[in-house]
Amino acid sequence: MPTYSNRDCVRFVRDMQEIGLKVEHYKGAHQYEGPSVTVVNVDDVIINTRVKCLFDQIGHKFVVYPDQRDTGTNTKIKEVSVDQSVLDEINYEDEELDKLDDKEFEEF
């Protein structure tokens, strides 16, 4: 499995792992290649990430993946991974956004 460095793909992988979904590398429709999860209900993914996602229906399930593709590097490792420096930046940005959200509620 590859190591992803595209910001949306890294955020998607992090978000899906946080809710316990198995992330897999997917080569799908429209020249897409990158991380994905397979679910019965697309909303399970959409409500748990800020990343714009697309999906393909396969039978009764859906393969959900970020709008941005990332073929990844280091394909010899067994599990999906992310570039740690990109993940650190995203985590910092999310913390700052959460602070802003909290501040807005305090004003009302």
Predicted local confidence at residue 89, as pLDDT: 83
pLDDT category of residue 67 using cuts at 50, 70 and 90: very high
pLDDT of residue 1: 66
Residues 6 or more apart from 62 whose CB is under 8 A from it?
Answer: 38, 39, 40, 41, 42, 55, 56
Contacts of 100-103 with C-beta under 8 Å, sequence gap 24+, read none
Residue 99's pLDDT band, with cuts at 50, 70 and 90, is confident
Q: Structure pTM?
A: 0.75
3-class DSSP assignment, residue 31: coil
**Interval 13-45: pLDDT, tens:** 999 999 999 999 898 877 888 999 999 999 999
